[in-house]
Amino acid sequence: MASQFTVHGRLWIEGPDGTVLGHGRVELLEKIDALGSLSAAATALGMSYRYAWKLVKLMNEHSDGPLITLNAGGRGGGHASLTEAGREAVATYRQTDREFEQFLSEQSEKLPG
């Protein structure tokens, strides 16, 4: 029988200037990619636009190059999209995260009774 206790964790990637990607930030990137809009992505995640915008700014500043492109004005009011670097960063994080989930469930199995 499995233990009533489980191992949990959080994972993130840091660069020289601070955190680049974490769980929440990657979810935001994926929603931006899916919806083409920062405000729609933030709303979909139950996150305030104000904060989502700050996260985007931080991610762009702390990576080698921008991960997200934001455009104000124009048809539909504006647009948001991922750069090629942004999509690669998401893929890299997801791969790492999959192995982390694997690690966590293995460790949970090992816990004593």
Partner DNA sequence: CTCCGTTATGCGTCAAAGTGCATATCGAAA
Partner DNA sequence: TTTCGATATGCACTTTGACGCATAACGGAG
Report the interface residues with a second copy, using CB under 8 A: 4-16, 20, 88, 92, 96, 99-100, 103, 107, 110-112
Question: Which of a second copy, DNA, none interacts with 10 (beta carbon under 5 to 8 A by kind)?
Answer: a second copy
CA distances from 30 to 17, 39, 82, 85, 107 (A): 23, 13, 9, 13, 28
Decide: helix, strand or coil at residue 5: coil
Nearest CB to a second copy, comparing residues 44 and 85: 85
Backbone phi, then psi, for 71, in 5-degree steps? -130, 120
Question: Which of DNA, a second copy, none interacts with 99 (beta carbon under 5 to 8 A by kind)?
Answer: a second copy
Asked if 108 interacts with DNA (CB under 7 A), we say no
107: DSSP letter: H
CA dihedral 30→52→57→96, nearest 10 degrees, is -40
Question: Which of DNA, a second copy, none interacts with 18 (beta carbon under 5 to 8 A by kind)?
Answer: none
Nearest CB to a second copy, comparing residues 8 and 50: 8
